[in-house]
Amino acid sequence: MTQSKNHADKATIFCRDENRVDWHNKALWTLREKRDRAAASVPEWEDLRQLGSELKLHTLANLSHYLVEFEKNCQANGIHVHWAKDAAEHNQIALSILAKHQVKKLVKSKSMLTEECHLNPYLEKHGIEVIDTDLGERIIQLNNQPPSHIVVPAIHMKKEEVGDLFHEKLHTPKGESDPTRLTRAARAHLREQFLSADAAMTGVNMAIADIGAVVVCTNEGNADMGANLPKLQLHSMGIDKVIPSADSAMVLMRMLARNATGQPSTTYSSFYKGAKPGGEMHVIIVDNGRSDIMQDKILAESLKCIRCGGCLNTCPVYRRSGGYSYNYTIPGPIGIAVGAKHDETNSIPWACTLCGSCSYVCPTKVPLDKIIAHHRRLKAQQRTLPFGKSSYMPLVGKLMSSPTAFNCAMGSARIALRVLPHSLIKPFSGAWGKYRELPVAPKSSFDTWYKQNKANKSEAK
């Protein structure tokens, strides 16, 4: 029997391990708290958010201009620029460059775009060994898993599980789970990979149009090790990564690390403006559906995202369902926003409470809750709603449009909650009810209570 790809079914699997759900939730909320403290330490934080939003909107509105300017200035700096319409073309371009230089081993720093394009398996299929050099990425690569978070990709794994994995793959002592010693073992292992690599590849945090440079931000220095040891370096970027100037980059960089992990800045923020002496630098600019997103005014705002991961850290659904419950490379609210069109099950737009916490923390003011609600409307208009929702939503619509019917239904529900055993009611409360205690039902609605108390106060006067 094939496993369901429905978000709720995948989340159910994650939720079976209550201890994992608990510490996963707490670990991510800790990042949210660090973000809040970091934001509060910057008096002009809200001004920065507004400026970042306007900056990205301006760039998107003039995207062709800035992409052409970026290409022209890159070429003036001796950088080779390539254009890819989709993931397949991106992978073919990367392979052709690597094959031309007879590359057998590629070291790669974090890049959600290459994950989106499924580059690693494509290159490995063609005989090129790919080594992810970000610690979290290397952990999940050794464990044959994709990232479960865009910033902390191995957040779903316990240190004991990493210890067991390293014992098997890196031959660390059995039972070793100390994070410091495990990190030292990973560093020694990765140092060998850097020294024996034929080429390096990185993602791109920002591409600066007016100087023809790419910005790569890391905490481990792995992108710099890769870019400065082999002679061949490649950088993959989506068309939405371009920004007008270095001044623009400074605005976004002041928010990026603070919103991601609570740091004032990433440990390393590198500007690559050309190849090292005797080397080659290539930039691959990828569309892969971004132009289609821009055709919808509401969805287009998702391209303001700077991939800080703040929306994942605050999302109550992501924190309790894990990254692998989503049907797209990028999980969480931003994953729903940019990936709902790729979801064959049409379930991820409903992996959201519409609480708006994601929009509240977003450094560039991406209105994620509004975008997700828009995806739901599109699914309804396209008649691609999941079966259950397509059956009962018309009934709910009629119920909600009639005050009399609504009040009768709510009255019946309150009576049922008070009288019937919860074991009889829970099967009808959906996936949410399976993992929650049903509330004690009030004797009356707020509207009735308010009218009665208002009348009592009037009589007392």
First to last CA, the chain: 70
Quick one: average pLDDT of 332-343? 93
**Domain assignment present for 86:** yes
Tell how strand 206-208 and strand 213-218 pair up: antiparallel
Which among 263, 291, 319 is the end of a domain? 291
Contact 281, 78 (CB under 8 A): yes
pLDDT over 90 (residue 212): yes
- Tokens for 250? 């400074």
Average pLDDT (232-242) is 98
Q: Is residue 307 assigned to a domain?
A: no
Q: Which residues contact 455 (CB under 8 A, 6 or more apart)?
A: none
In a domain, 226, yes or no: yes
The stretch 269-280 carries a mean pLDDT of 96
Supply the Cα-derived Rg of the chain in whole angstroms: 25
Q: Are residues 284 and 429 in the same domain?
A: no
Residue 9 identity (one-letter amino acid): D
Please report whether residue 256 resides in a domain: yes
Q: Which domain holds residue 139?
A: 10-291
Q: How far apart are CA 54 and CA 60, in angstroms?
A: 10
* Residue 264, domain member (yes or no): yes
| pLDDT tens-place string over residues 7-32 | 988 998 998 899 999 999 999 999 99
| Mean of pLDDT over the chain | 93
Q: What is the pLDDT of residues 447-459, one digit of tens each?
A: 888 888 876 666 6
Last residue within a domain, chosen from 245, 276, 291: 291
User: What pLDDT band is residue 2 in, cutting at 50, 70 and 90?
Assistant: very low
Tell whether pTM > 0.85. Answer: yes
Query: Is the predicted pLDDT of residue 1 greater than 60, yes or no?
Result: no
**Position 121 in a domain:** yes
In this predicted model, what pLDDT tens digit does every residue of 77-118 receive, in sequence order?
999 999 999 999 999 999 999 999 999 999 999 999 999 999
Query: Would you say residue 327 lies in a domain?
Result: no
The CATH number given to whatever domain includes residue 54 is 3.40.50.10420
Of 196-210, 232-246, 444-458, the poorest mean pLDDT is in 444-458
| Total structural domains within the chain | 2
Residue 223 lies in a domain: yes
Same domain, 139 and 266: yes
Answer yes or no: are the C-beta atoms of 212 and 9 closer than 8 Å. no
Q: Beta strands 105-108 and 199-202: pairing type?
A: parallel
What's the confidence (pLDDT) of residue 383? 78
Same domain? 221 vs 75: yes
- Boundary of a domain, candidates 291, 325, 346: 291
Query: What span, in angstroms and rounded, lies between the C-alpha atoms of 353 and 267?
Result: 35
| pLDDT of res. 413 | 83
